[in-house]
Homo-oligomer: A and B are copies of this chain.
Amino acid sequence: MTLVGVDVGGTKVLAGVVTPDGEVVRAFRGATPGRLAPAQDVEDAVVAAVLEVSAGSPSAVGVAAAGFVDVSGSRVMFAPHLPWQGEDVRARLTARLGVPVLLENDATCAAHAESTYGAGRNASSVLLVTLGTGIGGGLVLDGRVWRGASGMAGEFGHMQVVPDGSPCECGGHGCWEQYCSGNALLRDARSRIGVEPTVLAELCDGDPAHLTGPMVTAAAADGDLVARAAFTRVGEWLGVGLANLVAAFDPAVVVVGGGVSEAGDRLLEPARDALSRSLVGVGHRVVPPVLRAALGPEAGLIGAALLAHGASSHGRR
């Protein structure tokens, strides 16, 4: 059995052969052609990655996509960074690969993986937030992924937290991910370059547009105060938004993944503080632990492969 998981984002496709125990035994990384390319080009990239990593013979494939997947798990309805807009991606990939294909939102896949083998493995319910360019979210309740009535649960990033706040790519204003994400971190750090002394100015060769998230993470680790303050502010917004979500869902644990989470406690400590300050009823309730994700950037593909395995071994989604 060669179980394959694929994580498809706006710039890259990550594929891996995954064991039923969640181990990635072989991996492959390719490029995706971006949202302005024909939809077929992204499918080509997925098919190539699957065939490459599985030596041409996958037995089941799970696809984790950075977008809204419909309730039947057939189509990507809306994806800001991919050209898919309602195409029946699952049917097309199934036809081309000749094996069962499962399609699911990437953060939902990551939530399943983290709750099965990662930071949430001993918890009855997990709320996962991934901080990348934006915010991804997933929920596992009583051990099962909660997909929602239309398959689109977990879109935490577009919770409005500031009335008439920063405009968001989604068309709204004041969405949480405008204040708490890799983009928010970069915007914060860039705004200080040339204003306060910071090693970030050298790291980006004086051009704030060249600043990247890993540069801010590295500078913060080296003690740069501007970089550290940016993590503190993003962490505080993380805690405020988590307080809203914890009040609503009351999960056993919160897991934070995505590139920004690589800063670890530099991000999570301010988040825990803000959660404890903001959560209603603190003192009369359990405040869930806020844990760093354990499976790294492969969480999405691992979860997709595990979900595909479960679906094909049970004959249903």
Contacts and interface: CB of A to CB of B under 8 A. Distances in A.
Interface of A: 68, 77-78, 85-86, 123-125, 137, 141, 146-163, 170, 172, 175, 240, 243-245, 247-252, 278, 280-281, 283-286, 288
26 contacts: A68-B284, A77-B284, A78-B281, A78-B283, A125-B148, A125-B149, A137-B248, A141-B146, A147-B250, A148-B249, A148-B250, A149-B250, A149-B286, A149-B288, A150-B285, A152-B247, A152-B250, A153-B248, A154-B250, A156-B247, A156-B248, A158-B280, A159-B244, A161-B163, A170-B280, A245-B248
A155 B245 contact: no
Given A149-B288, A163-B162, A245-B248, A281 B240 contact: no
Contacts of A240: 160, 163
Which applies to chain A's interface (DSSP): helix, strand, loop or mixed?
loop
Contact of A248 (B243, B248, B281): B248
A210 B180 CA distance: 44
A163 B244 CA distance: 12
A175 B161 CA distance: 11
Q: Give the interface centre of A156, A157, A249 by most chain B CB atoms within 10 Å.
A: A249
B248 A284 contact: no
- 7 closest Cβ contacts across the A-B interface? A148-B250, A78-B284, A158-B280, A149-B252, A153-B250, A155-B247, A77-B284
A146 to B, nearest CB: 6
A280 B141 contact: no
B243 A160 contact: yes
Contacts of A154: 248, 250
A286 B77 CA distance: 11
Given A154-B250, A248-B248, 4 more contacts: A68-B284, A124-B149, A153-B250, A156-B247
A296 B153 CA distance: 29
Nearest to A124: B149
A156 B149 CA distance: 19
Given A160-B161, A172-B278, A278-B172, A248 B149 contact: no
A276 to B, nearest CB: 12
Contact of A244 (B77, B78, B244, B252): B244
B149 A251 contact: yes
A68 to B, nearest CB: 5
Nearest to A155: B247
Contacts of A147: 250
A68 B285 contact: yes
A88 to B, nearest CB: 15
A251 B148 contact: yes
Contacts of A137: 248
